[in-house]
Amino acid sequence: MSNGNDAHRLRERIPIAGIIILVFVLLAITTLIIGLTPKTRDLTVTGVSWARSVNIEKLQTSHESDWTVPEGAKVQYSEKEIHHYATVFSHYAIIKNGNNTFFQPIYRPEPVYSTKYYYDIDRWESDYTATSSGHDQKPYWPDYSLESNQREGEKKAEYFIDASYKNKVSTYAVGYEDWQKSHVGSTLHAKVYPDNRVEILE
């Protein structure tokens, strides 16, 4: 008799446990959504800064290998090597199951060879990064000189403001146009994203 009561209590607990788990899941999702939602705040600017960089690339000879030769490569040598393995039939195995006998095919891996090329090729690779930065609103690109085997690569510019909200100062990344409007001492009505990006609202 007690076993019946225990089973009844167990059936009652299972829905309750499911409800508790569902509540925790919904709370976690709600917390995540709230955390990812940008917040509107009035920020007081206490400082500005910027950073710019130019990646300088250098044409360098790279030693590589592949099954095909890319354009511009100089082949040094080639060899027959295993490209992949094919599955091929090997034999039949006799399987007995009681009074029944049947044949099961057995397969083996067979190496497939192809020509692999070893070559030299000139590629543009990162050599160094020229940088400039400041705590004003007069950004400029860094000075650098290029040799005959160098070129400009990716250019990157970042703009930041230090701003206080409820007596706490944080650093925010802003777009260039918004950054130009961000003067020390001014108050910005802005949208703040979870990654500390700021978008000024009109």
Return d(Cα 16, Cα 8) in angstroms, integer.
13
Query: Running DSSP on this structure, what letter comes out for residue 91?
Result: E
Domain ranges within the chain, ordered by starting residue? 1-37, 39-200
Return d(Cα 96, Cα 98) in angstroms, integer.
6
DSSP SS3 for 14: helix
Asked if the model's pLDDT at residue 194 lies above 70, the reply is: yes
pLDDT in tens, 85-106: 999 999 999 998 888 888 999 9
Of 93, 111, 90, residue with least CA distance to 102: 93
Return d(Cα 121, Cα 108) in angstroms, integer.
38
pLDDT at residue 33, rounded to an integer: 55
pLDDT at residue 196, rounded to an integer: 87
CA dist list (Å): 156 to 81, 129, 130, 179, 198: 44, 10, 10, 16, 18
pLDDT in tens, 17-69: 666 776 666 666 655 554 457 888 899 999 999 999 999 999 999 999 999 99
Lowest-confidence pick of 31-35, 48-52, 138-142, 161-165: 31-35
pLDDT at residue 190, rounded to an integer: 86
The amino acid sitting at 185 is: G
Please name the residues in contact with 71: beta carbons below 8 A apart, sequence gap of 6 or more: none
Average pLDDT over residues 177-183: 92
Lookup: tokens for 61: 């000879």
Average pLDDT over residues 144-160: 96
Q: Is 118 exposed, middle or buried (0-12, 13-18, 19+ CB in 10 A)?
A: middle
pLDDT at residue 23, rounded to an integer: 67
pTM over 0.75: no
Answer whether 193's CB lies under 8 Å from 199's CB. yes
Strand partners, 113: 82
pLDDT at residue 36, rounded to an integer: 56
